[in-house]
Structure 1
């Protein structure tokens, strides 16, 4: 009887494990929707439950005047439930966007936001929420990712959130361009190694891919049936470039173009299909005879302060010496690169290999959960080695985690080669959540190398791409599809083959607080862009070195004060400048104090200042509770979720369940055999 009892208990355990395994499978099905992309309204009740809130539409209106872009992003949501709702609204913006206005519109109520220190704004919002008042809070999670909380949305009502931001555009390679993100590739939270070589890992098996693992409880809904619930996105761009247009082009979407009586060009696009949720890119250029070499814009604020924005294209043909290079290619093959991204990355890497010159050396590093190098050391860029590398690249596939730290360590090793210019070309979608630690690693280990980032896919993490290039004293480029790879990589190699403008210094009479305070190296086709406080009749002295030639230029500027937004441009550049100073030893306390001062004075959402809006009249009876709802959000074009999710752990849950099931099965067999022997 004892043995039968053991068998019965084991069978019960086995049944229980089967149920657990089935539950794990159901959880895995749920987690196939656990990704976050473009703007979403997410909310939860006291128990953390979430349900669906439809997104009705999104309107993006941009006005470009010269180099200044002013944008309104308006999204309207519907609350079909019978309960009051608190909602969380996630949305990406360009990395350089300066968010300075917000409105919460519920019915006939329009509540404007005001800037406060982050903790104070949060406390104000929480108090209003508790008191039944309608309120909104806008916070910055990353320079390209913002988060809005909306309290006390009425049953059966609609809510509109309007965000305003400003962005300064610069011309590169003879054209202006803007990039507006419509999706966010989910981030991976993985291995982080500190300077003390302490290894930490945060793994949440219950959540799967998140936009900010461990920070925001957010998910992406997947499936064709959910795509039907997505609202339309209407984008309109009004162009007043200030010069005769040679062309207007979008490499990402089919656009409609018309010219108004004022000669203003209006470009519009309506996005309502699943494969259109990718970064919207628009470029425009002057006719050849109107190519600018310098531009200056100025503004005088109500307080009497003067601000200037100077753009200058340095000479491109002073240096003649060409250097042989040691090029280390790093390719991301993690799960988030699944789908069209890995194909684009392979095409970009192959184009890069083919673009090497006879005197160059190279290596290829692949990383996902593990890091491996094709060669132990860089090899000559001869035909045999190139073909061997191409064969290797063609067999790569996406899967696993985005463990970027070991890959950067391997790429930025010290080298005894003094004959070659060391360049690291990093090909990735940047889907990591620990960017700051990686920037520190790049800054600490860079040495005499230069790091160049190539953003892959329809919605790369532009914050990582651009900031990693700044820390690596390099430049960046985006490749959305395999069809663009050859052209874009050729353009990158053409730029890297030419000496940079380095050791740049700025001085002059009547010029103060030039931003950025540390001017980065400039590559061919890149302009020098400086924001400054100034006096009337200022003179700017600029000097630097291009290869073996010394260059200097004096620019006499006269303030006309007929532009708008130049002060906001200066303030946003100052915030970015202070945010980067931890790389140069500035204390976190001093950085925080300086950014708070800028945010409060110029009404900017920053890492330490937030925007809060409170309607003073309570509308929700305190006896009513807040329900939990969420808007289904579209996934980035070309992303294969099953690959991405394998990196974060839900498959581990199934594997653990299977292991437990097999162990229980083994135990049952052992008990049965013991019973047979006893008999």
Structure 2
């Protein structure tokens, strides 16, 4: 199993990947702007996201960007623009789209492709961007706003946070370009783990957000933005310049309560897809859907919204299991908020309730003063639980599978209301595995309700929402401590039994299309939360829907809602997205091939991207000679509020920011080779600390249950000023990292001169950052001298290359850096033993773009997309 600590090889040709990625003077970050434009009409948002890429290199560029989107929004279009060339994307089956993209890149054509990895994680590749050229890719989306307690929320995520990756590494080449190897639990881990920028790196992306409020929608009584500074004028909300792409954008709108409604929207005629590429001049490809078959005539989309009834019955006794995530990613304000949230939940219990508190990271921990299992909700037991929660800190890895199993196993008494509450940031990669376990547990026992409390400024909302939906519960998201009290008040009201259960739907005077209701499992009705269901109908836009169920007192409940025809063009796409999510979740559990074909057909018919399809745009014009372009994976921001604790390194040396300031690409090789072979990699003198709080994990050969409790990783926070000049651990840390950098240079010695010059540019920026953190002393001085030499354009490339190796080797060997560096050609400058801190030579492919002599195309596997292989 791996965490963000476990770094792997850079695929061939991707020397600009890696932790600690920095922009050199020449620039190596292709994404330079993000423009978000949204129009909110009532409870629907129409969105355009424009991503601007530029090529600062002197060779054609392929840029890869892993980014989030709202998990319930439908991606319905892609448009690529380069100069006067405008190319509309076409939605195709994923394998076909990939083949078309790869062939276009090999032929020297511009192309782009957008693929879904998770409901809220996507990958965009833009290839053959010419030197100095700018290319924009515009994505079109439509999505619903969540609505509860009279308040609508527009949440747009801006960064994919680092995720914990469990499981044994899989053999073979990775399926993506991220830092984590693919594992048995997360077979696409390398596709959802983009490299991370160093904290303190200057803002690399110009962010622009503009949200227009359509006055034709529901009247807005108040609005507020969380996390971002905004200005408002003439019903337009804009984010002020200078904001970073490191947190969710959240806009909350307070509406007057509306009545229950059933909206019917007949389908509009669809334009046939031509699939043609752009020709000379400004050109446009065809649309993403084909002609509607005859069976579609007279069809449309219905959307039902029903307000909840007033609570009438008192809460019943319940069994409650609280799962608290205390893993390393929860460090800082998130851990404080999680403890407060957990304590508030415990305080709501009564003597008639029973409960258990399980804190988990790599291991599961019960309060010492309480029995292992369910305890009575007495004042004494609640006090003991809260006292235990107050002592918890963040540590270890997010091993969520075992705690879910154990927590669900405790809720075995069907005579009581059974509730499981998960408090976490949700930053895990094995979502499908966890959902399968919840589905299996539900089949075994049934009746367990699962609520999720997500705490983060870049929360994994897609996973937590799916988990709560599977468990017939609710998901509340908390982005700050200030927001916690309001969110916990909602959770408190909804942890009790729902107001209505066993909801059923039937139509009168309206023909519903079987199997199209979304969500497929009719949700229960909770206080303050309207019940919202959508589906497809055929025939006249008239009739009514009747909902029946059982209220909390055990009495029958019934609501009739007459239909109204409305003009809502986005309704079919929004329904399509929800229906595809239901189908994909079913596929996660069953892996049914027929279900896969249904998913693809639905995606193509309604023009909505899913995990089995992709949007691809290909320019017909040949702009370069073809072959393999220079490849760069865009590093992403460290999410706001994530802190890097400083655990004790081996030998007692404190861990500092210096541990990853030189991280770069080199450390990945040894880890990934060892992971593939099943061997345990040699441990460094001081472990590299990536920009995610470190985790403590068991060796792959040991089951988690057999491990002793992991030590706390809480400690003094890393300082941007770096370690003191006399820090005894600084030299050991620098020696390890310098050895890795030297190994990366040696592995890249056969690259063309232009590529080697780029490596030295990148190395100089990392060394400069390292010197800044070291602040003073001989180590900082030696690094600054080397940076000056590497940036001296008057020095020949060979001389700068040898100077870098000589200095790095001396630092790796622990020699005093104050003396003169060995001259070029000195054996000390080429001693391969210095390339690896363990004493051995650097293995081929340990960094840069050389991967054991493999071809440039070897770094990209064209196998399965997201399914286990």
User: TM-score per shorter chain, which class?
Assistant: 0.7 to 0.9
**Greater mean alpha carbon deviation, residues 307-316 or residues 177-186:** 307-316
The match for 1:524 is 527
Residue matched to 1:629? 632
- Report the CA distance between 1:616 and its aligned residue: 0.8
Whether 2:441 is the aligned partner of 1:445: answer yes
Aligned length: 602
- 2:158 is equivalent to residue 182 of structure 1: yes
Q: 1: distance between equivalents of 2:216 and 2:418? A: 38
Residue by residue, what CA displacement relative to the aligned partner does 1:249-282 show, whole Å, maximum 9, x if unpaired?
22332322222xxxxx2222136245x7211111
CA contact (8 A) 1:359 1:380 kept: yes
Structure 1 residues 643, 600: closer, same or farther in 2, change over 3 A? farther
Q: How many angstroms does 1:429 deviate by? A: 1.0
Instruction: Give 1:106's aligned residue.
Output: 82
Unpaired segments ≥5 residues, structure 1:
1-27, 36-43, 192-199, 260-264, 662-679
* SS class of match (2:190): coil
For residue 171 of structure 1, give the secondary structure of its aligned residue in structure 2. Answer: strand
Q: Indicate whether 1:590 and 2:566 are aligned.
A: no
Tell me the CA shift for residue 186 of structure 1: 1.1
CA contact 1:332–1:427 (8 Å) conserved in 2: yes
Task: Confirm or deny that 1:278 pairs with 2:305.
Answer: no
**Distance change in 2, residues 1:593/1:643 (3 Å):** farther
Superposition map of 1:247-646 within 5 A: 247-259=222-234, 265-270=235-240, 272-274=242-244, 277-287=246-256, 290-294=257-261, 296-302=263-269, 304-317=297-310, 319-374=312-367, 375=370, 376-415=372-411, 417=413, 420-446=416-442, 447=445, 448-508=447-507, 509-513=509-513, 514-516=516-518, 517-534=520-537, 535-536=539-540, 537-547=542-552, 548-560=554-566, 562-582=567-587, 587-622=591-626, 626-641=629-644
Report if the CA contact (8 A) 1:307-1:570 is conserved: no
Alpha-carbon distance in 1 for matches of 2:247, 2:413: 41
Could you say if the C-alpha distance between residues 468 and 116 of structure 1 is closer, same or farther in structure 2, counting changes exceeding 3 Å?
A: same
Secondary structure in structure 2 of the residue aligned to 1:94? coil
The answer to whether the Cα contact below 8 Å between 1:430 and 1:461 also exists between their aligned partners in 2 is yes
Shift of 1:556: 2.2
1:480: how far off?
1.4
- Superimposed CA distance per residue, residues 82-130 of structure 1 (whole angstroms, 9 cap, x where no aligned partner): 1111111221001111111011112221111001111000000010010
Residue 344 to residue 266, structure 1, CA distance change in 2 (3 Å): same
Greater shift, 336-345 or 137-146, is seen at 336-345
The answer as to whether partners of 1:235 and 1:270 remain within 8 angstroms in 2 is no
Which residue among 135, 139, 144 is the counterpart of 1:159?
Answer: 135
Give the Cα–Cα distance (whole angstroms) in 2 for the partners of residues 266 and 235 of structure 1.
7
Structure 1 vs Structure 2 CA RMSD: 3.2
Deviation (angstroms), 1:354: 2.0
Match of 2:684 among 649, 654, 657: 657
What is the CA–CA distance in structure 1 between the aligned matches of 2:469 and 2:545, rounded to whole Å?
Answer: 24
How far did 1:531 drift? 1.8
Task: Map Cα deviations across residues 472-512 of structure 1 (whole Å, 9 max, x no partner).
Answer: 12111011122322331122111223533221111214232
- The answer on whether the counterparts of 1:515 and 1:573 sit within 8 Å (CA) in structure 2 is no
Aligned to 1:14: none
Question: Normalising by structure 2, what TM-score?
Answer: 0.65
Superposition deviation, residue 604 in structure 1: 1.6
In the superposition, the TM-score normalised over structure 1's length comes to 0.82
Secondary structure, aligned partner of 1:413: helix
CA distance in 2, matches of 1:125, 1:117: 12
Asked whether the 8 Å contact 2:112–2:127 carries over to 1, the reply is yes
Change beyond 3 A, Cα 1:414–1:625: closer
CA distance in 1, matches of 2:261, 2:437: 36
Alignment equivalent of 1:229, drawn from 185, 194, 204: 204
Matches within 5 A, 1:666-677: none
Task: Flag the 1:643–1:134 CA change in 2: closer, same or farther, 3 A.
Answer: farther
Distance verdict in 2 for CA 1:580–1:606, change over 3 Å: same
2:422, 2:216 → 1: CA distance?
33
**Alpha-carbon offset, residue 151 of structure 1:** 1.1
Q: 1:433 to 1:271 in 2, by over 3 A?
A: farther
Higher strand share: 1
Contact 1:371–1:407 at 8 Å: present in 2 too?
A: yes
Q: Distance in 2 between matches of 1:553 and 1:594?
A: 33
CA deviations 1:38-93 (Å, max 9, x no partner) are xxxxxx88433226224322110011122221100012122111111111122100
Residue matched to 1:50: 16
Contact 1:96 1:167 in 2 (8 A): yes
Cα distance per residue 1:365-423 (max 9 Å; x no partner): 01111112224022222222222222211221112111111110111015454553211
1:607 Cα deviation after fit = 0.9
Question: What is the alpha-carbon distance in structure 2 between the residues aligned to residue 63 and residue 588 of structure 1?
Answer: 38
Distance 1:268 1:32, change over 3 A: farther
Q: Secondary structure at the match of 2:421?
A: strand
Aligned structure 1 segments of 4 or more residues deviating by more than 6 angstroms: 31-35, 643-646, 649-655
Q: 1:106 touches 1:158 (CA, 8 Å); kept in 2?
A: yes
Partners of 2:37 and 2:551 in 1: CA distance: 40
Q: Aligned partners of 2:192, 2:258: CA distance in 1, in Å? A: 45
SS in structure 2 at match of 1:412: helix
Q: CA deviation at 1:515?
A: 1.6
CA deviation digits over 1:166-215, x for unaligned, max 9? 10234211122111002222111114xxxxxxxx56699x9469996233
Higher relative contact order (CA 8 A, sep 6+): 1
Q: Are the equivalent residues in 2 in contact too, given 1:451–1:473 (CA < 8 A)?
A: yes
Q: Secondary structure at the match of 2:683?
A: helix
Q: Per the alignment, do residues 271 and 593 of structure 1 end up closer, same or farther by CA in structure 2, a change over 3 Å counting?
A: farther
Shift of 1:241: 5.8
Unpaired segments of 5 or more residues in structure 2? 18-27, 270-291, 648-654, 660-666, 672-679, 688-731, 733-869
